[in-house]
Amino acid sequence: MNSVDRFDILIFGGGKAGKTLAMDQAKAGKKVAVVEVGLIGGSCINIACIPSKTLIRSAEVAHSMKGISEFGITADNVRSSLDLVRDRTARVVAEMVATNQAGFDASGFDLVLGWGKFIAPKTIQVKTASGTRTVSGEQVFINLGTTADVPDLPGLADASPITHVEALQLGDLPTKLIVIGGGYIGMELGQAFRRLGSEVTILERGPRLAPREDTDVSEGILKILNGEGIEVALSAYDLSVSGRSGESVTVRSADGRVFAGSHILVASGRRPRTAGIGLELAGIEVDDRGFIKVDDHLRTTADGVWAMGEVAGTPMFTHASLDDYRVVKSTMTGGNRTTKGRMIPYCVFIDPEFARIGMNEAEALKEGIEYRVARLPMDVVPRARTLSQRKGFMKALVAVDSDKILGFSMLGVNAGEVMSVVQMAMLGGLPFTTLRDGIFAHPTITEGLNMLFANVPASAVVRKAA
């Protein structure tokens, strides 16, 4: 073994939780190292949230130009250039990487760039540009994230499919994009490419999009995507592929449907980056899907080793990874914050957005929780009319035996922001009447919450699992 550089804190993978903990602990005077294969700042800013949302914004602008006559404006000869869209995305990413790098430098931790693997408990060997370096930590934190899971479908690997990484860096706009998977990435990027000018077909093996959501949400999203000319093939399972992405591809489903396209994008879920990194040499166990086993404090099966973010099975959101940092920091400083029962919001950046906090009807029914439900079509919210963004609805679940808000779902313009207002009320333990009777600025989308919560039935409409 090479000589070992010893640290108080060793972080394996510089994702959201890892980089935040590294800066925090280095500033606190600890000797800290982060082993990172190359994404300065992790997936979110380099290849995931930030570039995808930047591309999506360009696509939104392109889309609104198409419907510009609705606003009494004429714009002739409007064209989009994928090169310029990609350059804008690259600029936003570069800015964020630079900001991250500056934060890393200011905190003073040792960034060890290279692919790492455990070679002994708490000891990682890193293949750097100049050779190998071995580092160990008194406390070790794993934050390695996930990677696109390319399913083992006949012909798919030979077709050289793209993932979100390549999709965000394409030189030419696909004439016809086939997307395998109708989840977050499939819906977001599918809609964005459609709006930039591609024909798009989404193949989803399940019977509906967004299967974790209530059926009214799935139906609403389907209608919106179909309305923009996106073909969505549901129950498209046991796919087989021929051809090559970038040239011509054909996909067949078990029931005989055939889909032809120029490119194929795989967006069918994620797999943890735990293979081949010597976890067994470090006493760190994984579950049957390869995610690192952790307890509510994110402690692994190895003493003094924690795992955070997606690799630990945390819900796959940047803000959830950030909260893992808080959980770990709490344990390190004698606190008792855990992952148990935490409320994690999310927003799918289709347009209009879909956002949820807390429970939906399907979950309440499954758990046998009685609830009252209020619904409001976006069409009646004055701000939605001024914006010509009338699609979708808001929905809230309220307890039966109290005025507690159980959950909120919204498919509509600014859903992510409006959801946060409801989330604050839930975090503060406020009754739904606070949102029903609070004074919101007019005309805002949030003002719709007055109307939504005015629709909460006194008690009559109670639904319960059969």
Ligand X SMILES: NC(=O)c1ccc[n+]([C@@H]2O[C@H](COP(=O)([O-])OP(=O)(O)OC[C@H]3O[C@@H](n4cnc5c(N)ncnc54)[C@H](O)[C@@H]3O)[C@@H](O)[C@H]2O)c1
Pick between residue 347 and residue 456 the one whose CB is nearest to ligand FAD: 347
| Of the residues 144, 233, 282, 357, which one makes contact with ligand FAD according to CB under 6 A | 144
Pick between residue 310 and residue 447 the one whose CB is nearest to ligand X: 310
Buried b (16+ CB within 10 A) or exposed e, 29-64: ebbbbbbbeebbbbbbbbbbbbbbebbbbbbeebbe
Please, which residues bridge with residue 55 across strands?
none
| Of the residues 31, 80, 115, 219, which one makes contact with ligand FAD according to CB under 6 A | 115
Residue 204 binds which one of ligand X, ligand FAD, none, with CB within 5 to 8 A depending on kind? ligand X
Please, which residues bridge with residue 241 across strands?
251
Buried b (16+ CB within 10 A) or exposed e, 323-334: bbbbbbbebbee
Pick between residue 26 and residue 232 the one whose CB is nearest to ligand X: 232
Minimum Å gap between C-beta 95 and ligand X is: 21
| Of the residues 268, 274, 314, 446, which one makes contact with ligand X according to CB under 6 A | 268
Decide: is 165 part of the binding site for ligand X (CB under 6 A).
no
Q: d(Cα 452, Cα 466) in Å, to the nearest integer?
A: 26
Cβ neighbours of residue 248 under 8 Å, at least 6 residues apart?
260, 261, 262
Helix, strand or coil for residue 163?
coil
Please, which residues bridge with residue 177 across strands?
200, 263
Buried b (16+ CB within 10 A) or exposed e, 260-285: ebbbbbbbbeeebbbeebebeebebe
Touching ligand FAD, residues 23-52 (CB under 6 A): 35-39, 42-44, 48-49, 52
Which stretch, 113-121, 344-352, 376-384, 395-403, contacts ligand X (CB under 6 A)? 344-352
- Taking a C-beta distance cutoff of 8 angstroms, is the pair 179, 206 a contact? no
Is 263 a catalytic site residue? no
Minimum Å gap between C-beta 168 and ligand FAD is: 7
Minimum Å gap between C-beta 145 and ligand X is: 10
318 annotated as belonging to a binding site for a ligand: yes
Q: d(Cα 436, Cα 446) in Å, to the nearest integer?
A: 11
Footprint on this chain of ligand X (rule: CB under 6 A): 151, 153, 180-186, 188, 203-206, 236, 239, 267-270, 316-317, 346-349
Catalytic residues, by residue number, are: 442
Feature table: binding site for NAD(+): 181-188, 204, 269
Q: Please state the residue numbers annotated as binding site.
A: 53, 116, 181-188, 204, 269, 316-319
